[in-house]
Amino acid sequence: MVSQADKSNGKKSTPQNSGAKKAGRGKGDTRRVAGAMLAAITRGKTLDEARDRLSDLPDSERNLADAMVQMALRHYGEINALTAKHLKRALPLRPHIAHGLLCIGVAQLVYMKVPAHAAIHETVAATGRREQPFRGLINAVLRQIERDIQADGPPAPAPLENLPEWMQARFEAAYGADALAAMATQHTQTPPLDLGFKSPEKAAAFAAAQATAEQLNDTHVRLLRSGDVRALDGFKQGDWFVQDVAAGYPAKLLHAALARVEKSDTPATVLDLCAAPGGKTLQLAAAGYEVTALDISASRLARVKENLKRTNLKANLVKADALDWQSPKQFDAVLLDAPCSASGTMRRHPDLVLNRHEGYIAKLAGFQKQLLTRATDWVKPGGFLCYAVCSLDPEEGEAQAKAFLETREDFRIVSPQNLSDLPVHLCQDNAFRSTPADHPLANHRYAGEVEKGGMDGFFAQVFQKISA
């Protein structure tokens, strides 16, 4: 065990005194930026907000810094358990970034297989004046972990340690211990790239031309290995947009419901509530519907506009608060992808496990109820309402839908069973439910094939407004 008093009183052990560059080489140092990003996240920032610090780095170093942070987030619990073995007490989170730098160093050593001399030397050298009291301690802990790896090999994976106890308890109660373990494992993996295509024909052609592609359904293709998204075939042509396969199923459910009703000469009208970043808007527009996309955020709607332009699709964009907006008309269908804890996307947003808490779910559930009630006003008699959340917690999904039906006799469930292109094993109890442990191909769980990736956790259910 290493104490602060053990922090290398012998001057030879620190990079600063062994001919290295001056410690704390400035805001442009890759590891220092990564440590600062992680420190900001542990203090409540999101990963996207913390990425503002990447602007301090040259383009060539930004991806490395981001990868370090994401790896540290994916193994945050394991890293803290590992460092605790060598510390008398944990490093404080404020006001410096010493704890962040230590975690970044461990992430390099254990999970990124960065050569020890580079991982330790560069991380310790990234300490600055504010971290001066902890520089030797960071060096000592990292070197001890290096020695442990050399003697005993890498530490055994313990993915459950990366999820907070309250989250483990809720997910195990909902899905069982095996599913929880599989979801925790997926959280430690960098997810593959899923693409949603404007047409089945374009999806099939793309999948056939890519050696590492897996076609997941008629419009979604998975790339197990990818580089720059903008360099992929079809990007400039607007053939596809980035969208996790699970995120595509709410719109597919709505499309399947609309296909059941008699066709008219004019396209069906669809309202996409809380629409940004716009994947479902693009899906619905590509299907030929007249789409109105509403979101409260102007900046997020700007992204929707950009993607509509790139894909040559059309939608009416409305900036408004859904609780206050007054629509001049009703719609054939309304899709509400409600704000939620987003726990279903933790494999793509590993910061979520640090900045979510149990009380956050109850607060959001109340807001979701308000939005769901408000959305009913915009559904035509005989029209459809799809409620969706990218949450793994039943309080935001299944329980919300059940409570809605119990209070709304003017709506009934639309069964998703036996509908084309929908994974039957994920459409139980008249709803769609996916978890990171699942895969859209029938009855396929990636318990032993984590490298192929799972899917985001989504709940979606479609209701029909009973005609007067």
Q: With beta carbons less than 8 A apart as the criterion, state whether 385 and 465 touch.
A: yes
Please, are residues 127 and 98 in contact by the beta-carbon 8 Å criterion?
Answer: yes
The radius of gyration computed from the CA coordinates of the chain, to the nearest angstrom, equals 24
Amino acid in the structure at residue 66: D
- What pLDDT is recorded for position 26? 54
Tell me: do 24 and 146 sit in the same domain: yes
End-to-end, the C-alpha distance of the chain in Å comes to: 73
At residue 401, what is the residue type? A
Q: Say what the pLDDT of residue 4 is.
A: 45
Is residue 182 assigned to a domain?
no
Long-range contacts of 443-446 (CB under 8 A, 24+ apart): 445/182, 446/182, 446/186
Distance CA 352, CA 163 (A): 10
Shared domain check, 260 and 130? no
Residues in the chain: 468
Residue 413 forms part of a structural domain? yes
Chain center to CA of 128: 32
Question: By residue range, what is the domain housing residue 392?
Answer: 244-465
List the catalytic residues: 390
Classify residue 349: in a domain, yes or no.
yes
Tell whether 148 and 263 lie within a shared domain.
no
CATH of residue 105: 1.10.940.10
User: What does the pLDDT look like over 212-221, one tens digit per residue?
Assistant: 899 999 999 9
Q: Is residue 405 part of a domain?
A: yes
Domain total in the chain: 2
> Burial letters for 35-46: b for 16+ Cβ neighbours within 10 Å, e otherwise?
bbbbbbbbeebe
In a domain, 226, yes or no: no
Per the DSSP assignment, residues forming a β-bridge with 318 are: 294
Residues of the chain with pLDDT under 50: 3-23
Residue 285 token pair: 């527009």
pLDDT at res. 45: 96
Check whether residue 145 and residue 264 sit in a common domain: no
Pseudo-torsion of CA 11, 14, 19, 22, nearest 10°? -110
CA-wise closest residue to 391 among 344, 335, 439, 438 = 344
In a domain, 424, yes or no: yes
Kindly state whether residues 277 and 402 are assigned to the same domain: yes
Last residue of one domain, picked from the residues 152, 183, 212: 152
The answer to whether residues 344 and 459 belong to one domain is: yes
Torsion angle in degrees (nearest 10) through CA of 193, 196, 200, 205:
-40
Q: DSSP assignment, residue 2?
A: B
pLDDT of the residue at 22: 45
What are the pLDDT digits (tens) for 117-169? 999 999 999 999 999 999 999 999 999 999 999 999 999 999 999 999 999 99
Q: What is the CATH number of the domain that holds 374?
A: 3.40.50.150
Judge contact between 163 and 181, C-beta under 8 A.
no
DSSP 367-408: HHHHHHHHHHTTEEEEEEEEEEES-S-TTTTHHHHHHHHHH-
Q: Same domain for 416 and 273? A: yes
| 252 shares a domain with 148 | no
Cα gap 37→363, rounded to integer Å: 28
Looking at the structure, do residues 142 and 251 belong to the same domain, yes or no? no
- 261 and 382 both lie in a single domain: yes
Residue 217 within a domain = no
Same domain, 297 and 420: yes
Tokens describing residue 418 = 């036996």
Tokens of 201: 């024909």
List the beta bridge partners of residue 241: 196
Query: Could you say which of 152, 181, 206 is where a domain stops?
Result: 152
Residue 351 located in a structural domain: yes
Same domain for 252 and 144, yes or no, is no
Give the rounded distance of the alpha carbon of 378 from its chain centre: 30
**Residue finishing a domain among 127, 152, 177:** 152
Structure pTM? 0.91
